[in-house]
Structure 1
Amino acid sequence: MNGLWIGGAALAATALVPATAQAADELKIGLATAMTGDYAPYSEAEGARCMADRLNAEAGPNDPKIELMIEDNRSDPQLAVALGEKFLDEGAQVITGVPFPDSLIPMAQSAQPYGATVFSAPNTQVEMQRAGFDNFIAGAVPDPINAAATAHAVYDKGARTVILMTSPDAGSYSEMLPEWFGEVFEHLGGEVVSKLSYSWGTTDWSPQIAEIKALPDAPDAIHVCDVLPDVGILIRQLRANGYEGWIVGCDAFDDKSLEGTVADASSLDKVMFATHGATGMNTDIDAFLAQCVADGYKVNGIFDALGADMVRVTYEAAKKAGTVEPEALRASIRAPGGYPGVTAPTISFAENGGYPVKTVPVIGFADGKRMLVTDTPPAYVPDF
């Protein structure tokens, strides 16, 4: 009888176990990210790792467990596509790759039969929004909004004439973003006085500088969307040739090597750029990145914060949905109310589906130190 009672107690205890001890759902996120190559400074992987490890450590027994699958795409869009297919075959509900359409469009196509989502933390290009993939989400606001933010900011600083520098090398990012800037600048009352072309990887800007110097009057501003070290070299060479106006750029300027490449702090005094969150000014983003560094992660800036947002939003959406089933997970990501983030207190995809509602910080410099110029949604945005 004693044995029967013990056995009955054991059965009763067993009946209570499943509610707390059953295996949690596994949330698999595949990052084909640039750990080497030209895009390495803009990788989101370390921030994603930092956030995933933090959330896993804090998770309850029934919360989803995050598995990050991270491989180097070597800044090669086609390698990213192949890695994305590998992640999908291994059960990933979310994948990402090089944040440009030549990688993301085929990845979104590959992900469709799996029901999976391509969630590109740093993508800003309108090609993905225009393509209309229901399974694509960008973690950053589109380029026309970024361009509008800087156009408003530099116009408010008194600029009335601008030169646009464009390149086809990164699609709409380097070719159309300056054009959108010009559209907003002229809408506000400014004038685009010239347009110059260039190629990514330029280290000698003398042909473009010669064209600028040949104009009857120096422009109040020059707009360019290019990566480092190119833009740092451009700023240095413009200043060396006597240009004292504004140099305005995009989120690619938000690379901590900018200050070192330019070298002279005074050369940055009339530089500004739009980005995804204010860093270098003791902000909440800085606190997150500093803690990641203290915990041993090699984070390098705002793009890691975007990676952290991607992981947290996906994780919180899985908790809200009560499942990691891919299509239910994507619907939950887009649920009203949004989710807490690193780059913004709340990040919501309910309004636009493919990109978030967020403010656009514009960063400038004073005595070589970064400062916040504006951090509001621009009043006028081009139709895209």
Structure 2
Amino acid sequence: MPSLYRLHRAALCAAVFGIAAISTASAEEIIIGAATAQTGGLAPYDQPALAGLRMSLDELNAKGGLGGKYTVKLLIKDTRSDTAQTATVAQELIDAGAKIMITPCDADPSISAGQLTQPLGIPTLTLCGSAPVLTGAVGDVMFGTYPADNVQATAVADFAVSEGKKKVFLLTSPDSTYTANLPEYFGKVFEKKGGAIVGRGTFSMGQPDFSAEITNIKGLADKPDLIMTAAYEPDFPAFIQQLRGAGITIPVYGADAIGTPTIKALGKLVDGVVYTAAGYAEPGSKLEAFNAAFTKYAGHAPESTYEVNGYEIGLILD
């Protein structure tokens, strides 16, 4: 399968097998706690990743479990896409005996869970949280498993420059690390490569009305030839619908979180929208092989690359 992360694999494996080593001789299973979003704004990301993880753990158990010895049991609790609730359910999973913790596709709730697992030495992996500050904010038990925001932003900036883009409007939200920082990472790289930031705007996550920011964009004396944002569901669909409805045809670039079926289903509204992904299923690639295997396992094709990322978490644990 695609190797998206390898730098800390040895450290993680040492932590996992350290847990197995201190288990009692009669122990037959290791509990993995999944504090993940079953509902709310993060569910479109956590659920596909969790499906890939389930597939991987089923395969792992079929081979005899961790180290060929310990059956893995997955306990799942709904964070409701809320940072405080993530901490609550993480504690519940710890109390239930979780020895490995899986956290949501976002840095902020993952950090809240990690602050509980760090003192206990419980290895903790985010499904696809991508903030580069994530591991440092928690400690040596927290492991990122997805291309970091600054890496994604650099790839998008490189593409923008290759497309001849010169002037960008950055749209951010202070409500999450992802939406606040990723466009700024883009801006830094874009400027270093000769581009200019001609305007900035902010939004509140969950707001239905982007008219103020659209007016801001329309009123810029120095017109942008690109809008960059890390907005995702439900904000990105609302923004792009209102932007195009206002007659603004400026290309919009985003990041991985807009690669969802809901946003793709917007059709012509998202024609020309550019976003990042952890991989591309070229003919004969390992990702293409995974997609076929997942389709057989789940009865439907993967929605995104979040499934394979969840699957790879299981490979690391093996």
What range describes the TM-score normalised by the shorter chain of this pair?
0.7 to 0.9
State TM-score, norm by structure 2.
0.81
Aligned equivalent of 1:52: 57
Residue from 287, 290, 294 that aligns with 1:288: 290
Distance 1:235 1:279, change over 3 A: farther
Q: Contact conserved, 2:115 with 2:138, CA < 8 A, in 1?
A: no
AA in 2 matched with 1:175: A
Determine helix, strand or coil for the equivalent of 1:87: helix
Determine helix, strand or coil for the equivalent of 1:184: helix
Distance of 2:136 and 2:71 partners within structure 1:
33
AA in 1 matched with 2:250: G
Determine helix, strand or coil for the equivalent of 1:219: coil
Determine helix, strand or coil for the equivalent of 2:34: strand
Determine helix, strand or coil for the equivalent of 1:252: helix
AA in 2 matched with 1:285: L
- Residue 124 of structure 1, CA deviation: 0.9
Aligned equivalent of 1:152: 158
* Cα displacement string for residues 98-130 of structure 1 (whole angstroms, at most 9, x for unaligned residues): 344443334223223432111112111233233
Determine helix, strand or coil for the equivalent of 1:124: coil
* Cα displacement string for residues 281-325 of structure 1 (whole angstroms, at most 9, x for unaligned residues): 89643542443343336754222222111111112xxxxxxxxxx
Aligned equivalent of 1:263: 267
Q: Equivalent pairs: percent with the same residue?
A: 30
Residue from 215, 219, 226 that aligns with 2:220: 215
- The aligned runs of 1:71-220 (5 Å cut-off) are 71-131=77-137, 133-170=139-176, 172-220=177-225
Bigger radius of gyration: 1
Q: Contact conserved, 1:41 with 1:300, CA < 8 A, in 2?
A: no
Residue from 272, 275, 285 that aligns with 1:273: 275
Aligned equivalent of 1:40: 43
* Cα displacement string for residues 258-279 of structure 1 (whole angstroms, at most 9, x for unaligned residues): 121x232xx4342111232236
Distance of 1:50 and 1:241 partners within structure 2:
44
Q: Contact conserved, 2:172 with 2:202, CA < 8 A, in 1?
A: yes
Q: Contact conserved, 1:178 with 1:225, CA < 8 A, in 2?
A: yes
- Residue 49 of structure 1, CA deviation: 0.7
- Residue 249 of structure 1, CA deviation: 0.6
Instruction: List alignment gaps of at least 5 residues for structure 1.
Output: 1-21, 316-384
Q: Contact conserved, 1:279 with 1:302, CA < 8 A, in 2?
A: no
AA in 2 matched with 1:295: Y
Q: Contact conserved, 1:24 with 1:62, CA < 8 A, in 2?
A: no
AA in 1 matched with 2:272: K
Distance 1:62 1:140, change over 3 A: closer
Q: Contact conserved, 1:46 with 1:297, CA < 8 A, in 2?
A: no
Q: Contact conserved, 2:41 with 2:234, CA < 8 A, in 1?
A: no
Distance of 1:239 and 1:120 partners within structure 2:
35
Distance 1:200 1:297, change over 3 A: farther
Aligned equivalent of 1:345: none
Aligned equivalent of 2:16: none
* Cα displacement string for residues 63-122 of structure 1 (whole angstroms, at most 9, x for unaligned residues): 442221122222222222222223223332210233444433342232234321111121
Distance 1:241 1:283, change over 3 A: farther
AA in 2 matched with 1:62: G
Q: Contact conserved, 2:106 with 2:128, CA < 8 A, in 1?
A: no
AA in 2 matched with 1:32: A
- Residue 222 of structure 1, CA deviation: 0.2
- Residue 236 of structure 1, CA deviation: 2.9
Determine helix, strand or coil for the equivalent of 1:151: helix
Aligned equivalent of 1:307: 310
Aligned equivalent of 1:352: none
Distance 1:95 1:132, change over 3 A: closer
Distance 1:229 1:290, change over 3 A: farther
Distance of 1:237 and 1:281 partners within structure 2:
37
Q: Contact conserved, 1:174 with 1:226, CA < 8 A, in 2?
A: yes
User: Which deviates the most, 123-132 or 274-283?
Assistant: 274-283
Distance of 1:289 and 1:49 partners within structure 2:
15
Instruction: List alignment gaps of at least 5 residues for structure 2.
Output: 1-24
Distance of 1:99 and 1:269 partners within structure 2:
26
